A and B are shown apart, each in its own frame.
Chain A
Amino acid sequence: MKFTLHIWRQENARAKGHFETYPLEGISPDCSFLEMLDILNEQLINDHIAHPVCFDNDCREGICGMCGLYINGRPHGNDDGITTCQLHMRKFHDGDDIWIEPWRAKPFPVIRDLVVDRSAFDKIIQAGGYISTTTGGVPDANTIPIPKHKADMAMDAASCIGCGACVAACKNASAMLFVGAKVSHLALLPQGQIEAADRVHKMVCKMDELGFGSCTNTYACEAECPKLIKRQNISRLNRQWIGALFGRDRK
């Protein structure tokens, strides 16, 4: 297959970026999107045309959350329920123009080319996205029975990979789906109840402080989430938040 690639190039966080165009031929339809970029980079290096295109990637099986490209206007490209590394060239037409950009959101500054800094997500988790346990001294696992449907819902929420597609998809760069997923995962479990009110309060405050925008309920995040995390998690986040505001037992 043959493509014309338009790729965002930006030397570092302070430099001004621009689109660069590269023609590419002889790509197998079974090639993954990132393997296609590998082939481009191999050519750029061999021909000394330019510094290879930098893009984050690691597991290449859709679970680490490291890769994330904005492809033809969609985070992770034109397929549902996948990450960029799981996108294959058979999803494109021969001769297509492909526009490739990094996530664009103020809390995710560009490091180089298509690589962005997502440490803001770590900071939100550090604000309270966990159950406080120290190692040892916990009860036997089966002393906490959990209804299967609750456990399954918690699992679905917990399957978030922290890639940032929800933020990139949102016109306001809101992180509500990311935060909602973590808040829901823990709030659905009895173990998570004890700190629930504090947790939601701290995570939402941190999210606001880091410059993520507000949610205006367009659900682009849900449409683009590679793990199909549902918008109901945002509703649950809102309910938890209101509960925390009016709860009397919160510090």
Chain B
Amino acid sequence: MKLDSKIPAGPLAEKWTNYKASQKLVNPANKRKLDIIVVGTGLAGASAAASLGAMGFNVDIFCIQDSPRRAHSIAAQGGINAAKNYQNDGDSVERLFRDTIKGGDYRAREANVYRLAEVSGAIIDQCVAQGVPFARDYGGLLDNRSFGGAQVSRTFYAKGQTGQQLLLGAYGALSREIARGTVKLHTRCEMMDLVVVDGRARGIIVRNLVTGDLERYAAHAVVLATGGYGNLYYLSTNAMNSNGSAAWVCHRKGAAFANPCYVQIHPTCIPVHGDYQSKLTLMSESLRNDGRIWVPKKKEDAESIRAGKLKPTEIPEENRDYYLERRYPAFGNLVPRDVASRAAKERCDAGYGVGTGFAVYLDFADAIQRLGKDVVEQKYGNLFQMYQKITDENPYETPMMIYPAIHYTMGGLWVDYELQTTISGLFAAGEANFSDHGANRLGASALMQGLADGYFVLPYTMQNYLADQIYVGKISATTPEFDAAEAAVKQRIENLMKNSALRQAQGPASLKTVDHFHKALGKIMWEYCGMARHTESLTKAKKLVSELENEFWKSVFIPGNANEFNPELEKAYRLEDYFELAQLVIDDAMHREESCGGHFRTEHQTQDGETLRDDERFMYVAAWEYQGHGQPETMEKEPLVYEHIQIAKRNYK
């Protein structure tokens, strides 16, 4: 495997302009002869399909939900960053670029991040033209707020439902193309395999989730926009059906997987409360604009609170420890997510946690006093309502309890500057690729990246690839490669179902559900490869995951059969992939003997508990290549070259 990042020559600020000026194009009459498959209908997938369809390509788009509007981008709450400088507070493309590189702890590719900052403004223009109802001030112009890791207000938002509104904008654009016939929509369909012909991605095998039928689709290029693999940890802020399988089958077929150990843990989620719990709900980072995070200063107060003898409102100001404001006076409560998460864990591990012991307070009393309840309600009303419905506590009267949870994966399929993976013709966009966030993503940057990839990057770079594909003609789905891929999928499903049929005959005692194993896997990963990692914990995790996988094959039970609507089977094949992915995440975490961003190795920290990078040994992207089930993967390094930015210690103090 040879990694070529294809970064265009020239000064950083001119690379994208130069690329566009010299890339190959496809003439309008030829576009309709070219077929493109897009998998996933979130921000990246929907925006890519809508843009490519409008340009005249033939697009087929697939999602596992009943409608493209359900993709998990819809749940993003806080906002989307853009270097518009509407607030006149000193923002610029350069500033957004620097914040993103620094936020990612100097582990992202300069050229990609610069391009992201460069197109960010156009995203807002596009969304407003589509009718996205962003928040406005009384003069009718767009309003902004602040997010972590920035000292300017560059975040555009639509109440606490920004992801929903942006996705509905992209869904509208997509719907228009579906009506025009340039895009064909396939709902309740899951990608099961990638078909590679002569080294190029030429199609996919999908399972119709209603009938269980396997179907084939052929195309000149495939775009993967299937999100991240946070559900590896079972409890996360991801949707129940979000999964890493589509990216993983591409990895098996030869696409390199980059930086899998970079997992983002979001500091403000509603804490875990029981074993039956199925997911963790995020409380938007925007709350940290006005909410103050604290725990009791005295251990005995924390103990009394946990025992239910003391209420948080009864603790006087001088006995509260606003630990983020104390440790990071420059950024205060708006430090980046990884920093805020670790600080919460540090306090709870030291015995100052509240609730079950694994929670801290997010307090709005000051904000309510300063701004009035009405203003706070207007800004955060829907989040407060959501909190109250889940916890049965009123956050206007008592502080919210929060704790970090798995939220986003910076790692993903390795892509070059054109967002093409190591398989020709296979592109990856949005959270599914690894490209822009380094070792930690800043808040409100996921929406920006998803839409940048779909609206403004892929429509250019894919043409560069497709230009010579006009000579190939229609791709056939009846070739031996398609036969083999479909047969392999069939075999895989049969293996899972066959075991279950045998097991049913043996009687119920030995059987366990897919969820049982998924929960166990999540616990192992959270405990030993979560917020803090250590050689020993990782060694242990590796062993436990292998044992659990063996146990899974011995006693998992999937009811029903493969040729029907069968959610248990869906969960089973996704979990099968997670077992392999978990091993890779652990291996990557093990090999990276430094701390950076979301990856915290306890052996590598400063005296005051901050991450300690090792730029000499680890300033590279780790791209892993699949070697077969149970085999250790091989790793290629893509060195990160910083020509423009001054490398510094990441400091938010």
Contacts and interface: CB of A to CB of B under 8 A. Distances in A.
Interface of A: 12, 28, 30-32, 34-35, 38-39, 41-42, 44-48, 51-52, 54, 56-66, 79, 81-82, 86, 88, 90, 111-112, 115, 117-119, 121-122, 125-136, 138-142, 144-148, 151-152, 154-155, 158-159, 161-162, 185-186, 189, 191-192
Given A39-B276, A135-B456, A88 B390 contact: yes
Given A52-B559, A57-B240, A145 B141 contact: yes
Contacts of B139: 145
Contacts of A135: 47, 50-51, 54, 126, 173, 455-456, 459
B54 A185 contact: no
A86 B75 CA distance: 14
Contacts of B125: 138-141
Contacts of B171: 125
Given A52-B559, A88-B389, A88-B392, A189 B70 contact: no
Contacts of B84: 141-142
Contacts of B173: 130, 133, 135
Contacts of A147: 136, 140
B165 interface: yes
Contacts of B131: 130-131, 154, 158, 185-186, 189, 191-192
Contacts of A159: 159, 161, 164
A46 B274 contact: no
Nearest to B567: A54
A159 B175 CA distance: 18
B164 A130 contact: no
A67 to B, nearest CB: 10
Contact of B568 (A12, A45, A132, A139): A45
B130 interface: yes
| Interface residue tally on B, bucketed by range | 35 or more
8 tightest CB-CB pairs across the interface, nearest first?
A130-B172, A145-B140, A138-B129, A155-B133, A135-B51, A141-B128, A58-B239, A154-B133
Contacts, number: 222
B118 to A, nearest CB: 14
A152 B504 CA distance: 56
Given A60-B279, A192-B131, A122 B185 contact: yes
A59 B75 contact: yes
A129 to B, nearest CB: 7
Q: Which of B66, B86, B171, B274 has the most CB of A within 10 A?
A: B66
Contacts of B240: 57-60
Given A148-B136, A158-B165, 14 more contacts: A35-B278, A60-B281, A61-B281, A63-B74, A66-B66, A79-B389, A88-B392, A122-B68, A125-B172, A129-B175, A138-B128, A141-B142, A148-B140, A162-B67
Interface in B39-93: 47, 50-51, 54, 65-70, 72, 74-75, 84, 86
A204 to B, nearest CB: 16
Given A31-B276, A118-B66, A145-B140, A126 B178 contact: yes
A162 B70 CA distance: 9
Given A63-B164, A129-B175, A148-B138, A48 B67 contact: no
Contacts of B485: none
Interface string B536-554: 0000000000000000000
A118 to B, nearest CB: 6
A12 B565 contact: yes
Contact of B159 (A30, A125, A155): A155
A191 B416 CA distance: 37
Contact of B75 (A63, A79, A90, A134): A63
Nearest to B237: A61
